[in-house]
Amino acid sequence: MTATHPGLPETGRAAADLLADLAALTATDLPTRGERVSAYVYDTGRPAVRQAAHEAYLAMLEVNGLDPTAFPSVVALERQVIGATATRLGGSDATPGIFTSGGTESIMLAVKAARDARPDIAEPEIVIPITAHAAFHKAGNYLRVRVIAVPVDPTTFKADPEAMAAACTDATVLVVASAPSYAHGVIDPVERIAADAAARGIPCHVDACVGGYLLPWLAEAGADVPPFDLSVAGVTSLTADLHKYGYAPKGASVVLFRDEAMRRSAYFVCASWPGYPVVNSTVQSSKGAGPLAGAWATMQALGAEGYRELGRSTLSATRRLIAGVEAIDGLIVLGKPETALIALGADPASPLDPWALADESRSRGFFLQPQLSAAGLPASLHLTLTGASEQGIDEIVAVLRASADAVRPLGPGTPPADLIALIQELDFSTLDDAGFAALLPMAGIELGGESSGRMAGVNRLLDALPVEGRELLVNRFLSALYSPYLGH
């Protein structure tokens, strides 16, 4: 079913008509409210806060952040947002920072700053734990910086400071720690990693994209939170996403720098073309001020007391979920989550198929995010709990129990050997998007219709393939998805 009209209409259409199209299109999306999707979306459960953000976003929709001298409102709001963030994360209202479109862009700028601060290094490297977010690999790819990914402790899933120090060379421009890691929700030993880096004169970045607006409040609520922010000696930059536990509309993140020279290395300038002199703090040049205003309004509407309460209920939701999962036969929580991000794994003693479990759970109304096994760490299903999760915990636990009961008799699940053999024989260089799309139903993959949301076959296949095979397939899939050849 296609709700929208193809192409540009000859005559303009009325807004009500357009909104009806959007409503029809989003009807098949995962729901963004109601705590049935515990990843991607962050909900305060407070309609007044959401409304403040929406209205502020629209009020600044047409302001262009390209030129902060033309639109000084952008500077004023950004300074407030950065200052309010930095003062909670070991800095002050004088801490230099940049407001960006998201965690990936913040990380990209932190890596660029570190790279450009060392023009003497011809082939720069960054050292990260293998559990660091993929955004560091993306930064390495975009910025031509080599990424050295170091194994972590296989039981705690935390970075190994000795191994990280040993991986540093004269070409290392940045060492990274996560607070916490996205996949397992554990906090790397930031103090050790930063001290070792500082001893060699290497900057250290803390990726608190998901933790930056959560950990301070969890600590106040009584959780055991080790030092992780700019108050730690040797930490030179930090990223924190407002569009995660800042509860802001998407397109909002912050990168903080210990010193102002580092922020200047993140900037891009160009005065060698015949147009206006370009001086950009971010990857984007022209950019709407809506996300900035939405983030600012969310912070102002919640206030410290709002975040504190959300932190308290997030912590209690997490504890209840972990206790609930521990009582389900066959399911375990990987590591000891220190935040509200939880990786559910199969109990090696009585293994069940996580991918089948995810499908069962989704058929019962709860989306769990699949996380493939990698670098010797097991596959898992991800849950991010928020300040609005608490009232739904009993229901999630009941769904997990029923789903585990349903898949337990099927056993651990076996890799699809035939399909893997078929893929290994295919010549992808001669296969176009149409050809690839035609293969998907044969592999049991159908978008829309009855089997929609049944992803176990795909996940089982991806999990069984080596990294290069996975990356090739998902690249081809994305291109086919946006092509006209896949049923929409």
Ligand X SMILES: *Cc1c(COP(=O)(O)O)cnc(C)c1O
- Return the number of the residue (330 or 387) whose C-beta is nearest ligand X: 387
- Return the number of the residue (334 or 399) whose C-beta is nearest ligand X: 334
Q: How far is the CB of 44 from ligand X (least distance, A)?
A: 18
Answer for the pair 38, 389: CB distance below 8 angstroms, yes or no.
Answer: yes
Contact stretch for ligand X (CB under 6 A) within 56-64, 203-211, 347-355, 464-472: 203-211
Q: How far is the CB of 415 from ligand X (least distance, A)?
A: 29
Backbone angles phi, psi at 426, to 5 degrees: -70, 140
Q: How far is the CB of 264 from ligand X (least distance, A)?
A: 23
Residues 6+ apart with CB under 8 A from 282: 98, 99, 100, 101, 105, 109
Examine residue 135 and tell whether it contacts ligand X (CB under 6 A).
Answer: yes
DSSP code for 248: P
Examine residue 100 and tell whether it contacts ligand X (CB under 6 A).
Answer: no
Q: How far is the CB of 183 from ligand X (least distance, A)?
A: 9
| Residue from 209, 235, 321, 332 binding ligand X (CB under 6 A) | 209
- Strand, helix or coil at 296? helix
Backbone angles phi, psi at 328, to 5 degrees: -100, 125
Ramachandran class of 386: left when φ > 0, alpha when ψ lies in -120 to 50, beta otherwise: beta
Which residues in 43-150 belong to E strands, given as ranges?
97-100, 125-129, 146-150
Binding pattern for the stretch 242-261 against ligand X, x by CB under 6 A and - elsewhere: -----------x--------
- Return the number of the residue (46 or 382) whose C-beta is nearest ligand X: 382
Residues 6+ apart with CB under 8 A from 417: none
End-to-end CA distance of the chain, in Å? 7
| Residue from 42, 57, 99, 182 binding ligand X (CB under 6 A) | 182
- Strand, helix or coil at 17? helix
Residue 123 CA: distances (Å) to CA of 49, 116, 264: 47, 12, 21
Tokens linked to 184:
């397992």
Q: How far is the CB of 270 from ligand X (least distance, A)?
A: 25
Q: How far is the CB of 279 from ligand X (least distance, A)?
A: 24
Exposed e or buried b per residue across 222-236, where buried means at least 16 C-beta atoms within 10 angstroms of its C-beta: ebebeebbbebebbb
Which residues in 92-218 belong to E strands, given as ranges?
97-100, 125-129, 146-150, 172-178, 204-207
Number of neighbours of residue 317 by Cβ within 10 angstroms:
23
Q: How far is the CB of 384 from ligand X (least distance, A)?
A: 9
- Return the number of the residue (60 or 107) whose C-beta is nearest ligand X: 107
| Residue from 133, 263, 382, 454 binding ligand X (CB under 6 A) | 133
Contact stretch for ligand X (CB under 6 A) within 110-118, 204-212, 342-350, 479-487: 204-212
- Return the number of the residue (209 or 480) whose C-beta is nearest ligand X: 209
Q: How far is CA 127 from the centre of its chain?
A: 20
Q: How far is the CB of 212 from ligand X (least distance, A)?
A: 9
| Residue from 85, 172, 178, 380 binding ligand X (CB under 6 A) | 178
Burial environment of residue 377 by CB neighbours within 10 A (0 to 12, 13 to 18, 19 or more): buried
How many residues contact ligand X, by CB under 6 A?
A: 13
- Return the number of the residue (183 or 404) whose C-beta is nearest ligand X: 183
Tokens linked to 52:
């403040």
Examine residue 312 and tell whether it contacts ligand X (CB under 6 A).
Answer: no
Examine residue 387 and tell whether it contacts ligand X (CB under 6 A).
Answer: no
Binding pattern for the stretch 409-428 against ligand X, x by CB under 6 A and - elsewhere: --------------------
**Calpha distance 340→383 (Å, rounded):** 8
Q: How far is the CB of 188 from ligand X (least distance, A)?
A: 11
Examine residue 241 and tell whether it contacts ligand X (CB under 6 A).
Answer: yes
101-120: contacts with ligand X (CB under 6 A): 102-104, 107
Tokens linked to 211:
């933790």
- Return the number of the residue (36 or 205) whose C-beta is nearest ligand X: 205
- Return the number of the residue (187 or 346) whose C-beta is nearest ligand X: 187
Contact stretch for ligand X (CB under 6 A) within 100-108, 161-169, 227-235, 366-374: 100-108
Residue whose C-beta lies closest to ligand X: 103
Residues in contact with ligand X by CB under 6 A are 102-104, 107, 133, 135, 178, 182, 207, 209-210, 241, 253
